[in-house]
Chains A and B, each alone.
Chain A
Amino acid sequence: MRSAVVVFPASNCDRDMMVALEKITGRPPLKVWHGDASFPEVDLIALPGGFSFGDYLRAGAMAARSPVMREVIERAKKGVAVMGICNGFQVLTEAGLLPGALMRNAALKFVCRDVHLKVEGSQSAFTNRYAQGQVIRIPIAHHDGNYFADADTLDRLENEGRVVFRYCDEAGNATAEANPNGSQRNIAGILNERGNVLGLMPHPERLIEPTLGGADGRMFFESLMEALH
């Protein structure tokens, strides 16, 4: 599986993503700079976490309009797998590849801790190694992760099975207490209509082996290997 990690000014999870991809796919990913209007063909494009362009104007707004994103949008429309983690999710919504928007956390604070997620869609290229309904523990670290979309869009996402990760408690209940940022319907991660673009606020790349405190993120990358090798 060939992969690429896009680096924007002030991305800060690009290295973690590179390490996770290399360890699990066995191939070092390409590093692609935001100003590159073209780059070699790959099976997976990853937009990493961070604070691209200092979150100026809106989180992800500047990065979504950078030269590399024109190419990413083209390839996403052709069916290439694209994933955005944290700031990458914000970039994907700003670029129009995913519906909705990520707003300031409801409690206005930056939240950095592990959360529980329920895998609600285990059929996707990003989740096929997880069991349907499995509860996993993954860290979050964000200030703007409060997922918003209008009611029609939310219903559509639910009906089409595109809400793949939801914040929940340890037992798997999507309660208000288990919602770390005020996201509507506890949404943590969604797919586009075609299923090849995923946005996720939590960071699976940070928990890929027990040394790091857990390995629940590992199967995320193994799923991609399964789907894209």
Chain B
Amino acid sequence: MKARVHVTLKNGVLDPQGKAIQHALTALGFAGVEDVRQGKFIELELVEADEAKARAAVEEMCKKLLANTVIENYAIDLVR
């Protein structure tokens, strides 16, 4: 089973890189981009076949390493 993890900055945490991307997009002529938030995408190949167990394991991985929960949120998608 594959797990796809999106790590994003929490609301209220400034994202200077997102801001720089927004400015660059505006400079390139893409109008109407109100905000940009940059995050990370992590793909994991898991041996576990049980969905509940896989989710619980990836949840632990996110809390312990993949995300810094002081500043980041995470979302987990499991793909067969």
Which residues does A use to contact B, with CB under 8 Å?
Answer: 57-58, 61, 65, 93-94, 99-101, 103-108, 146, 148-150, 182
Contact = CB atoms under 8 A, between A and B. Distances in A.
Contacts of A149: 70
A120 B72 CA distance: 30
B68 A108 contact: no
B14 interface: yes
Given A57-B65, A57-B66, A61-B65, A148 B71 contact: yes
Nearest to A105: B16
B68 A58 contact: yes
Contacts of A146: 16
B19 to A, nearest CB: 9
B49 interface: no
A101 B9 CA distance: 12
Interface in B60-74: 64-66, 68, 70-71
B22 to A, nearest CB: 13
B13 A148 contact: yes
B20 interface: yes
B78 to A, nearest CB: 21
B17 A182 contact: no
Given A58-B68, A150-B12, 10 more contacts: A57-B65, A57-B66, A65-B65, A94-B68, A99-B70, A101-B68, A103-B14, A107-B16, A108-B20, A148-B70
B16 A182 contact: yes
A101 B69 CA distance: 10
Interface string B1-23: 00000000000111011001000
A132 B16 CA distance: 34
Contacts of A108: 16-17, 20
A101 B65 contact: no
Nearest to A106: B16
A108 B19 CA distance: 10
Interface string B36-62: 000000000000000000000000000
Contacts of B68: 58, 61, 94, 101
Contacts of A100: 70
- 10 pairs of A and B residues whose beta carbons are closest in the complex: A101-B70, A101-B71, A106-B16, A108-B16, A101-B68, A58-B68, A104-B16, A108-B20, A148-B71, A104-B17
A107 B17 CA distance: 9
Between B12, B17, B20, B70, the greatest number of chain A beta carbons within 10 A of the residue's beta carbon is seen for B70
A58 B39 CA distance: 12
B43 to A, nearest CB: 14
A93 B70 CA distance: 10
A166 B64 CA distance: 30
Contacts of A150: 12
A111 B71 CA distance: 22
A106 B17 contact: no
Nearest to A151: B12
